[in-house]
């Protein structure tokens, strides 16, 4: 049986990933279900999923393994997504879009931390 702390950590990871997906879906106008498909989907959906993975890792403070589990993907897929999105930040348009989504995710995480639903995470605090 998993420890209570393991279950709590998994619950927090699910919440962070859900919020990352919601932020990306709102920004791009995709239905949430599109990011959950087991196949790649179209290029736009795959890119949106990569951004959600990136946000969950970089802003949400989740490990690559935690993100991989929540997205039902391999850890190397998440690593590739993070590298791909980080490389795209050279484009001013992509940078503005990512900054907007990062700010939205930070706000959501912050409100859940303030409410005591999520515990405060040093990895999230240091990425302001």
Residues 31-48 pLDDT 10s: 888 887 777 778 999 999
User: Is 0.85 topped by the overall pTM?
Assistant: yes
Q: Is residue 128 part of a domain?
A: no
Range of the domain at 76: 4-121
Q: Looking at residue 52, which CATH number applies to its domain?
A: 1.10.1750.10
Which two three-digit tokens encode residue 6?
A: 């393991």
pLDDT tens digits, one per residue of 36-80 = 777 777 899 999 999 999 999 999 999 999 999 999 999 999 999
Could you give the C-alpha distances from 10 to 70, 118, 122, in angstroms and in order? 9, 11, 17
């Amino acid at each position: 049986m998993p420890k209570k702390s393991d279950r709590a950590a998994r619950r927090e990871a699910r919440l962070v990933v859900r919020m990352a997906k919601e932020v990306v879906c709102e920004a791009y106008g995709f239905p949430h279900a599109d990011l959950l498909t087991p196949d790649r989907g179209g290029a736009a959906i795959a890119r949106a999923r990569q951004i959600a993975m990136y946000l969950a890792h970089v802003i949400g403070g989740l490990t690559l393994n935690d993100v991989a589990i929540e997205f039902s993907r391999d850890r190397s897929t998440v690593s590739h997504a993070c590298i791909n999105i980080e490389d795209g930040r050279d484009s001013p348009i992509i940078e503005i879009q990512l900054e907007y989504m990062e700010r939205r995710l930070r706000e959501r995480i912050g409100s859940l931390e303030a409410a005591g639903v999520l515990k405060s995470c040093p990895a999230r605090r240091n990425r302001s």
